[in-house]
A and B are shown apart, each in its own frame.
Chain A
Amino acid sequence: MNADMRLEHDWFPAPLPDNVVLGAGSWVYSSYAFRHFRSRQPVAVRIGCDTGIYHGTFFDVGPDGEVAIGRYCALVGAIISCNSRIVIGDYSLLAHEVVLADSSAAIPYDRPAVGSIARIKRGDAPATVTIGDNVWIGARAIILAGADIGAGSIVGAGAVVDFPVPPGSMVVGNPGRIVQRSPRSATS
Protein backbone atom coordinates (compact mmCIF):
# COMPACT_ATOMS: atom_id res chain seq x y z
CA MET A 1 0.00 0.00 0.00
CA ASN A 2 1.37 3.33 -1.04
CA ALA A 3 0.02 6.11 1.15
CA ASP A 4 1.15 8.68 -1.44
CA MET A 5 -1.38 7.21 -3.84
CA ARG A 6 -4.38 8.25 -1.73
CA LEU A 7 -6.74 10.66 -3.43
CA GLU A 8 -7.29 13.77 -1.32
CA HIS A 9 -11.05 13.74 -1.79
CA ASP A 10 -11.51 9.98 -1.48
CA TRP A 11 -14.42 8.61 0.61
CA PHE A 12 -13.20 5.01 0.28
CA PRO A 13 -10.31 4.11 2.60
CA ALA A 14 -7.82 2.71 0.10
CA PRO A 15 -4.93 4.06 -1.94
CA LEU A 16 -4.83 3.83 -5.71
CA PRO A 17 -2.93 0.68 -6.71
CA ASP A 18 0.82 1.25 -7.12
CA ASN A 19 0.66 0.36 -10.82
CA VAL A 20 -1.83 3.09 -11.72
CA VAL A 21 -0.41 6.27 -13.27
CA LEU A 22 -2.60 9.35 -13.16
CA GLY A 23 -1.67 12.35 -15.30
CA ALA A 24 -1.59 15.96 -14.12
CA GLY A 25 -4.98 17.63 -14.03
CA SER A 26 -6.86 14.33 -14.13
CA TRP A 27 -9.55 13.33 -11.65
CA VAL A 28 -10.61 9.92 -10.34
CA TYR A 29 -13.78 9.89 -8.23
CA SER A 30 -12.50 7.24 -5.79
CA SER A 31 -10.12 4.36 -5.24
CA TYR A 32 -13.36 2.34 -5.13
CA ALA A 33 -13.06 2.28 -8.94
CA PHE A 34 -10.29 -0.29 -8.37
CA ARG A 35 -12.24 -2.50 -5.96
CA HIS A 36 -12.03 -5.51 -8.33
CA PHE A 37 -8.66 -4.55 -9.84
CA ARG A 38 -6.07 -7.35 -9.77
CA SER A 39 -3.56 -6.45 -12.50
CA ARG A 40 0.08 -7.31 -11.85
CA GLN A 41 1.44 -5.42 -14.87
CA PRO A 42 4.08 -2.76 -14.08
CA VAL A 43 1.87 0.00 -15.49
CA ALA A 44 -1.59 -1.52 -15.44
CA VAL A 45 -3.66 1.62 -15.87
CA ARG A 46 -2.20 4.78 -17.41
CA ILE A 47 -4.46 7.80 -17.48
CA GLY A 48 -3.24 10.85 -19.40
CA CYS A 49 -3.49 14.48 -18.34
CA ASP A 50 -6.78 16.33 -17.88
CA THR A 51 -9.02 13.27 -18.01
CA GLY A 52 -12.07 12.77 -15.78
CA ILE A 53 -12.92 9.34 -14.35
CA TYR A 54 -16.29 9.95 -12.73
CA HIS A 55 -18.68 8.15 -10.38
CA GLY A 56 -19.55 4.58 -11.27
CA THR A 57 -16.52 3.88 -13.43
CA PHE A 58 -14.75 0.60 -12.63
CA PHE A 59 -11.44 -0.94 -13.63
CA ASP A 60 -12.11 -4.68 -13.26
CA VAL A 61 -8.70 -5.57 -14.68
CA GLY A 62 -7.27 -9.08 -14.35
CA PRO A 63 -3.65 -10.02 -13.56
CA ASP A 64 -2.46 -9.67 -17.16
CA GLY A 65 -4.66 -6.71 -18.06
CA GLU A 66 -3.56 -3.23 -19.13
CA VAL A 67 -5.58 -0.10 -19.80
CA ALA A 68 -4.28 3.10 -21.40
CA ILE A 69 -6.47 6.19 -21.54
CA GLY A 70 -5.41 9.42 -23.27
CA ARG A 71 -5.87 13.02 -22.28
CA TYR A 72 -9.02 15.14 -22.14
CA CYS A 73 -11.25 12.04 -21.90
CA ALA A 74 -14.42 11.73 -19.84
CA LEU A 75 -15.68 8.42 -18.47
CA VAL A 76 -18.96 8.90 -16.61
CA GLY A 77 -19.58 5.38 -15.35
CA ALA A 78 -18.04 2.95 -17.83
CA ILE A 79 -17.08 -0.53 -16.68
CA ILE A 80 -13.77 -1.76 -18.07
CA SER A 81 -13.45 -5.53 -17.54
CA CYS A 82 -10.46 -7.22 -19.15
CA ASN A 83 -7.40 -9.36 -18.80
CA SER A 84 -5.89 -8.07 -22.03
CA ARG A 85 -5.14 -4.63 -23.42
CA ILE A 86 -7.65 -1.81 -23.80
CA VAL A 87 -6.59 1.52 -25.28
CA ILE A 88 -8.62 4.73 -25.38
CA GLY A 89 -7.27 7.72 -27.33
CA ASP A 90 -7.38 11.44 -26.50
CA TYR A 91 -10.59 13.52 -26.29
CA SER A 92 -12.86 10.46 -26.13
CA LEU A 93 -16.20 10.52 -24.32
CA LEU A 94 -17.74 7.40 -22.77
CA ALA A 95 -21.33 7.82 -21.58
CA HIS A 96 -23.20 6.17 -18.71
CA GLU A 97 -23.26 2.38 -18.33
CA VAL A 98 -20.89 1.71 -21.21
CA VAL A 99 -19.01 -1.59 -20.86
CA LEU A 100 -15.63 -2.31 -22.49
CA ALA A 101 -14.67 -5.97 -22.14
CA ASP A 102 -12.58 -8.69 -23.70
CA SER A 103 -15.29 -11.32 -23.38
CA SER A 104 -19.02 -11.03 -23.93
CA ALA A 105 -19.87 -12.68 -20.59
CA ALA A 106 -17.16 -10.82 -18.68
CA ILE A 107 -16.81 -11.18 -14.92
CA PRO A 108 -14.37 -9.55 -12.52
CA TYR A 109 -11.08 -11.38 -12.00
CA ASP A 110 -10.83 -10.98 -8.26
CA ARG A 111 -11.73 -14.55 -7.31
CA PRO A 112 -10.83 -17.97 -8.70
CA ALA A 113 -12.68 -18.92 -11.85
CA VAL A 114 -15.41 -21.49 -11.34
CA GLY A 115 -16.23 -24.39 -13.60
CA SER A 116 -15.36 -23.85 -17.21
CA ILE A 117 -15.48 -20.06 -17.39
CA ALA A 118 -13.15 -19.08 -20.19
CA ARG A 119 -10.51 -16.65 -19.08
CA ILE A 120 -8.73 -14.51 -21.60
CA LYS A 121 -5.00 -15.20 -21.40
CA ARG A 122 -2.31 -12.83 -22.45
CA GLY A 123 -1.44 -13.39 -26.09
CA ASP A 124 -4.83 -14.81 -27.04
CA ALA A 125 -5.77 -12.81 -30.13
CA PRO A 126 -7.79 -10.75 -30.81
CA ALA A 127 -8.68 -9.84 -27.28
CA THR A 128 -7.72 -6.19 -27.49
CA VAL A 129 -10.09 -3.26 -27.65
CA THR A 130 -8.87 -0.04 -29.26
CA ILE A 131 -10.74 3.24 -29.22
CA GLY A 132 -9.14 6.04 -31.23
CA ASP A 133 -8.94 9.77 -30.56
CA ASN A 134 -12.09 11.87 -30.27
CA VAL A 135 -14.51 8.94 -30.22
CA TRP A 136 -17.92 9.44 -28.66
CA ILE A 137 -19.55 6.32 -27.18
CA GLY A 138 -23.24 6.55 -26.30
CA ALA A 139 -24.94 5.27 -23.17
CA ARG A 140 -25.09 1.51 -22.63
CA ALA A 141 -23.00 0.72 -25.69
CA ILE A 142 -20.94 -2.48 -25.36
CA ILE A 143 -17.46 -2.58 -26.86
CA LEU A 144 -15.91 -6.04 -27.07
CA ALA A 145 -12.72 -7.80 -28.12
CA GLY A 146 -11.98 -7.13 -31.78
CA ALA A 147 -13.31 -3.58 -31.69
CA ASP A 148 -10.92 -1.03 -33.21
CA ILE A 149 -12.84 2.20 -33.46
CA GLY A 150 -11.25 4.82 -35.70
CA ALA A 151 -10.70 8.44 -34.71
CA GLY A 152 -13.67 10.78 -34.74
CA SER A 153 -16.27 8.01 -34.77
CA ILE A 154 -19.57 7.95 -32.92
CA VAL A 155 -21.02 4.79 -31.37
CA GLY A 156 -24.76 5.06 -30.81
CA ALA A 157 -26.46 4.34 -27.49
CA GLY A 158 -26.83 0.61 -26.86
CA ALA A 159 -24.75 -0.40 -29.88
CA VAL A 160 -22.65 -3.58 -29.70
CA VAL A 161 -19.27 -3.34 -31.46
CA ASP A 162 -16.73 -6.17 -31.83
CA PHE A 163 -15.21 -5.33 -35.22
CA PRO A 164 -12.98 -2.67 -36.80
CA VAL A 165 -14.67 0.65 -37.50
CA PRO A 166 -13.01 3.09 -39.94
CA PRO A 167 -12.28 6.64 -38.76
CA GLY A 168 -15.18 9.07 -38.89
CA SER A 169 -17.89 6.42 -38.83
CA MET A 170 -21.18 6.19 -37.04
CA VAL A 171 -22.12 2.75 -35.65
CA VAL A 172 -25.53 1.85 -34.26
CA GLY A 173 -27.59 -1.16 -33.25
CA ASN A 174 -27.08 -4.73 -32.09
CA PRO A 175 -25.45 -6.28 -33.99
CA GLY A 176 -23.66 -3.01 -34.68
CA ARG A 177 -23.70 -1.67 -38.20
CA ILE A 178 -21.94 1.28 -39.76
CA VAL A 179 -24.58 3.72 -40.99
CA GLN A 180 -22.40 6.64 -41.99
CA ARG A 181 -18.81 7.39 -42.78
CA SER A 182 -17.15 10.74 -42.20
CA PRO A 183 -20.20 12.54 -40.80
CA ARG A 184 -18.41 15.87 -41.23
CA SER A 185 -18.18 15.53 -45.00
CA ALA A 186 -21.77 14.25 -45.22
CA THR A 187 -23.10 17.57 -43.94
CA SER A 188 -21.01 19.76 -46.24
Chain B
Amino acid sequence: MGDEGFGDITGNWDYGELPGNVRLGRECWLERKASFALFRSERNPGLILGDRVRVYTWTTFNVEPSGLVDVGNDSVLVGPVFMCAAQISIGQRVVISYNVTIADADFHPVDPEERMRDAIANSPAGDRSRRPAYVTRPVRIEDDVWIGIGAIVLKGVTIGRGARIGAGSVVTRDVAAGSVIAGNPAAVVSEAQP
Protein backbone atom coordinates (compact mmCIF):
# COMPACT_ATOMS: atom_id res chain seq x y z
CA MET B 1 0.00 0.00 0.00
CA GLY B 2 3.10 2.18 0.02
CA ASP B 3 2.60 3.26 3.63
CA GLU B 4 5.97 2.20 5.07
CA GLY B 5 6.72 4.27 8.14
CA PHE B 6 3.08 5.23 8.43
CA GLY B 7 1.80 2.02 10.03
CA ASP B 8 0.79 3.91 13.17
CA ILE B 9 -2.03 5.59 11.21
CA THR B 10 -2.88 2.82 8.75
CA GLY B 11 -3.53 -0.12 11.08
CA ASN B 12 -0.13 -1.72 10.35
CA TRP B 13 1.36 -1.38 13.82
CA ASP B 14 2.17 -4.02 16.43
CA TYR B 15 -0.98 -4.41 18.52
CA GLY B 16 1.22 -6.24 21.05
CA GLU B 17 2.39 -2.77 22.13
CA LEU B 18 -1.01 -2.17 23.76
CA PRO B 19 -1.06 -2.36 27.56
CA GLY B 20 -1.40 -5.83 29.09
CA ASN B 21 -4.93 -5.13 30.32
CA VAL B 22 -6.24 -4.75 26.76
CA ARG B 23 -7.87 -7.97 25.59
CA LEU B 24 -8.10 -8.22 21.80
CA GLY B 25 -10.24 -10.73 19.92
CA ARG B 26 -9.27 -12.30 16.63
CA GLU B 27 -8.90 -10.29 13.41
CA CYS B 28 -9.34 -6.86 14.93
CA TRP B 29 -8.24 -3.88 12.88
CA LEU B 30 -7.06 -0.82 14.78
CA GLU B 31 -6.31 1.98 12.33
CA ARG B 32 -4.56 4.55 14.52
CA LYS B 33 -2.27 3.75 17.41
CA ALA B 34 -2.95 7.13 19.02
CA SER B 35 -6.60 6.15 19.54
CA PHE B 36 -5.24 4.43 22.66
CA ALA B 37 -2.93 7.23 23.88
CA LEU B 38 -5.36 8.31 26.60
CA PHE B 39 -6.14 4.77 27.76
CA ARG B 40 -4.99 4.61 31.40
CA SER B 41 -7.26 2.02 32.97
CA GLU B 42 -5.75 0.12 35.87
CA ARG B 43 -8.43 -2.55 35.80
CA ASN B 44 -7.70 -5.93 34.29
CA PRO B 45 -9.10 -6.13 31.76
CA GLY B 46 -9.57 -2.42 31.20
CA LEU B 47 -10.50 -2.76 27.53
CA ILE B 48 -12.03 -5.72 25.71
CA LEU B 49 -12.42 -5.71 21.93
CA GLY B 50 -14.22 -8.77 20.56
CA ASP B 51 -13.48 -10.62 17.35
CA ARG B 52 -13.32 -8.65 14.10
CA VAL B 53 -13.85 -5.28 15.77
CA ARG B 54 -12.83 -2.39 13.50
CA VAL B 55 -11.57 0.81 15.06
CA TYR B 56 -11.18 3.76 12.67
CA THR B 57 -8.87 6.72 12.99
CA TRP B 58 -11.37 9.10 14.64
CA THR B 59 -11.86 6.86 17.71
CA THR B 60 -10.48 7.80 21.15
CA PHE B 61 -10.42 5.61 24.25
CA ASN B 62 -10.17 8.17 27.05
CA VAL B 63 -10.38 5.67 29.91
CA GLU B 64 -9.59 6.63 33.51
CA PRO B 65 -7.85 4.23 35.93
CA SER B 66 -11.25 3.07 37.21
CA GLY B 67 -12.76 2.53 33.74
CA LEU B 68 -13.63 -0.49 31.59
CA VAL B 69 -14.75 -0.41 27.95
CA ASP B 70 -16.10 -3.69 26.55
CA VAL B 71 -16.92 -4.00 22.82
CA GLY B 72 -18.62 -7.08 21.36
CA ASN B 73 -17.80 -9.05 18.21
CA ASP B 74 -18.15 -7.47 14.75
CA SER B 75 -18.82 -3.96 16.01
CA VAL B 76 -17.59 -1.02 13.93
CA LEU B 77 -16.21 2.00 15.74
CA VAL B 78 -15.85 4.83 13.24
CA GLY B 79 -15.51 7.85 15.47
CA PRO B 80 -16.62 7.40 19.07
CA VAL B 81 -14.84 9.24 21.86
CA PHE B 82 -15.24 7.08 24.94
CA MET B 83 -15.05 9.12 28.14
CA CYS B 84 -15.01 6.30 30.69
CA ALA B 85 -14.57 6.30 34.46
CA ALA B 86 -16.74 3.27 35.30
CA GLN B 87 -18.02 1.02 32.52
CA ILE B 88 -19.15 1.43 28.92
CA SER B 89 -20.42 -1.81 27.36
CA ILE B 90 -21.02 -2.12 23.63
CA GLY B 91 -22.79 -5.20 22.26
CA GLN B 92 -22.20 -7.18 19.08
CA ARG B 93 -22.61 -5.79 15.55
CA VAL B 94 -22.99 -2.27 16.90
CA VAL B 95 -22.23 0.58 14.49
CA ILE B 96 -20.97 3.85 15.92
CA SER B 97 -20.56 6.54 13.25
CA TYR B 98 -18.38 9.69 13.01
CA ASN B 99 -17.93 12.26 15.82
CA VAL B 100 -19.87 10.39 18.50
CA THR B 101 -19.28 10.97 22.23
CA ILE B 102 -20.15 8.38 24.89
CA ALA B 103 -19.56 9.31 28.55
CA ASP B 104 -20.34 7.44 31.77
CA ALA B 105 -19.74 10.46 34.05
CA ASP B 106 -20.01 14.25 33.92
CA PHE B 107 -16.33 14.42 34.99
CA HIS B 108 -16.85 17.65 36.94
CA PRO B 109 -19.16 18.58 39.84
CA VAL B 110 -22.47 20.26 39.08
CA ASP B 111 -22.23 22.50 42.15
CA PRO B 112 -20.39 25.74 41.18
CA GLU B 113 -18.32 26.01 44.38
CA GLU B 114 -17.15 22.43 44.09
CA ARG B 115 -16.50 22.89 40.40
CA MET B 116 -14.16 25.77 41.14
CA ARG B 117 -12.22 23.56 43.58
CA ASP B 118 -12.14 20.91 40.86
CA ALA B 119 -10.74 23.39 38.32
CA ILE B 120 -7.90 24.28 40.70
CA ALA B 121 -7.09 20.66 41.61
CA ASN B 122 -7.21 19.66 37.93
CA SER B 123 -4.90 22.44 36.73
CA PRO B 124 -1.54 21.44 35.18
CA ALA B 125 0.37 21.91 38.46
CA GLY B 126 -2.62 21.06 40.63
CA ASP B 127 -3.01 18.20 43.11
CA ARG B 128 -5.44 15.89 41.39
CA SER B 129 -5.91 13.79 44.52
CA ARG B 130 -7.92 16.77 45.83
CA ARG B 131 -10.47 16.60 43.02
CA PRO B 132 -14.01 16.11 44.35
CA ALA B 133 -15.46 12.69 43.49
CA TYR B 134 -17.85 12.68 40.58
CA VAL B 135 -20.87 10.57 39.94
CA THR B 136 -20.49 7.72 37.45
CA ARG B 137 -23.27 5.62 35.95
CA PRO B 138 -22.41 2.88 33.46
CA VAL B 139 -23.58 3.08 29.84
CA ARG B 140 -24.87 -0.02 28.07
CA ILE B 141 -25.41 -0.24 24.31
CA GLU B 142 -26.98 -3.53 23.30
CA ASP B 143 -26.51 -5.70 20.20
CA ASP B 144 -27.26 -4.35 16.71
CA VAL B 145 -27.66 -0.71 17.76
CA TRP B 146 -26.64 1.99 15.25
CA ILE B 147 -25.50 5.31 16.62
CA GLY B 148 -25.68 8.12 14.07
CA ILE B 149 -23.15 10.80 13.17
CA GLY B 150 -22.35 13.25 15.95
CA ALA B 151 -24.63 11.71 18.57
CA ILE B 152 -23.86 12.18 22.27
CA VAL B 153 -24.77 9.48 24.80
CA LEU B 154 -24.52 10.49 28.45
CA LYS B 155 -24.12 8.65 31.74
CA GLY B 156 -26.50 5.95 32.90
CA VAL B 157 -28.10 5.40 29.49
CA THR B 158 -29.06 1.95 28.23
CA ILE B 159 -29.83 1.70 24.51
CA GLY B 160 -31.90 -1.40 23.82
CA ARG B 161 -31.15 -3.99 21.19
CA GLY B 162 -31.54 -2.86 17.58
CA ALA B 163 -32.37 0.76 18.37
CA ARG B 164 -31.40 3.49 15.87
CA ILE B 165 -29.99 6.74 17.21
CA GLY B 166 -30.34 9.56 14.67
CA ALA B 167 -27.50 11.87 13.69
CA GLY B 168 -26.82 14.61 16.22
CA SER B 169 -29.03 13.07 18.92
CA VAL B 170 -28.30 13.95 22.53
CA VAL B 171 -29.33 10.91 24.55
CA THR B 172 -29.79 11.30 28.31
CA ARG B 173 -32.49 8.67 28.91
CA ASP B 174 -32.85 4.97 28.19
CA VAL B 175 -33.89 4.01 24.66
CA ALA B 176 -36.26 1.06 24.19
CA ALA B 177 -35.15 -1.87 22.05
CA GLY B 178 -36.03 -1.46 18.38
CA SER B 179 -37.04 2.17 18.60
CA VAL B 180 -35.76 5.09 16.54
CA ILE B 181 -34.87 8.36 18.21
CA ALA B 182 -33.54 11.69 16.93
CA GLY B 183 -33.03 15.32 17.87
CA ASN B 184 -31.69 17.42 20.72
CA PRO B 185 -33.09 16.54 23.17
CA ALA B 186 -33.61 13.14 21.58
CA ALA B 187 -37.26 12.23 20.98
CA VAL B 188 -38.84 9.00 19.86
CA VAL B 189 -39.45 8.97 16.09
CA SER B 190 -40.87 5.45 15.97
CA GLU B 191 -41.52 2.69 18.48
CA ALA B 192 -40.29 -0.87 18.05
CA GLN B 193 -41.79 -2.67 15.06
CA PRO B 194 -43.62 -5.84 16.19
Does A123 have its Cβ within 8 Å of any Cβ on chain B?
no
- B3 and A14 contact, CB distance less than 8 A: yes
- Enumerate chain B residues within 8 angstroms of A180, measured Cβ to Cβ: none
A35 to B2, CA, bound (A): 12
Q: Which residue of B lies closest to A115 (CB)?
A: B93
Q: Would you list 21 pairs from A and B whose C-beta atoms are within 8 A, ordered by A residue?
A: A12-B3, A12-B6, A13-B2, A13-B4, A79-B98, A79-B99, A99-B99, A99-B167, A105-B165, A105-B167, A106-B78, A107-B56, A107-B95, A108-B56, A108-B78, A114-B74, A140-B150, A160-B167, A174-B167, A174-B168, A174-B182
Of the listed stretches B17-25, B113-121, B127-135, B140-148, chain A binds: B140-148
Which of A13, A115, A160 touches B168 (beta carbons < 8 Å)?
A160
B160 at the A/B interface (Cβ < 8 Å)? no
Contacts of A42 in B (CB 8 A): none
B175 close to A (CB within 8 Å): no
The bracket for how many chain B residues form the interface is 35 or more
Name B94's closest neighbour in chain A (CB-CB). Answer: A115
Of B54, B74, B97, B184, the residue contacting A115 (CB under 8 A) is B74
Task: Please name all residues of chain B whose beta carbon is closer than 8 Å to the beta carbon of A144 when the two chains form the complex.
Answer: 149, 167
Question: A63 to B101, alpha carbons, bound, how many Å?
Answer: 29
Q: B163: shortest Cβ distance to chain A, in Å?
A: 11
Extra pairs beyond A13-B3, A158-B150 (5, CB < 8 Å)? A13-B4, A105-B149, A106-B149, A160-B167, A175-B182
Chain A residues within an 8 Å CB radius of B2: 1, 13-14
Q: Does A117 contact B (CB under 8 A)?
A: yes
Interface presence of A57 (CB below 8 A): no
Most B CB contacts (10 A, CB to CB) among A35, A101, A105, A106 go to: A105
Given known A-B contacts A174-B184, A175-B183, A142 and B144 have beta carbons under 8 A apart: no
B159 CB to closest chain A CB (Å) equals 13
10 residue pairs, one from A and one from B, having the closest CB atoms: A105-B146, A104-B148, A115-B93, A104-B167, A160-B168, A174-B168, A174-B184, A142-B167, A105-B97, A114-B74
> Chain B's interface: helix, strand, loop or mixed, by majority?
loop
- B108 an interface residue at 8 Å Cβ cutoff? no
Interface residues of A in 28-72 (CB under 8 A from B): 32, 35-36
Give the interface of B toward A (CB within 8 A).
1-6, 9-10, 29, 52, 54, 56-57, 74, 76, 78, 93, 95-99, 144, 146-150, 164-169, 182-184
Q: Does A81 contact B (CB under 8 A)?
A: yes
* CB of A111 within 8 Å of the partner chain: yes
A-side residues, CB < 8 A to B, are 1, 12-14, 32, 35-36, 79, 81, 97, 99, 101, 104-108, 111, 114-117, 140, 142, 144, 158, 160, 173-175
A59 to B25, CA, bound (A): 29
Contacts of B164 in A (CB 8 A): 104-105
How far apart are the CA atoms of A99 and B98 in the complex, in Å? Answer: 8
In the bound complex, residues from chain B placing their C-beta under 8 Å from that of A117 are 76, 95, 146
- Contact A104/B166 with A117-B76, A140-B99 known, Cβ cut-off 8 Å: yes
Residues B10 and A35 in contact, CB atoms below 8 Å apart: yes
Report A-chain residues with C-beta under 8 Å of the C-beta of B57. Answer: 35
Report the minimal beta-carbon distance from A139 to chain B, rounded to whole angstroms. 11
Chain B residues in 8 Å Cβ range of A79: 98-99
- Give the chain A neighbours of B167 by CB distance below 8 A: 99, 101, 104-105, 142, 144, 160, 174
Docked complex Cα distance between A116 and B95 (Å): 10
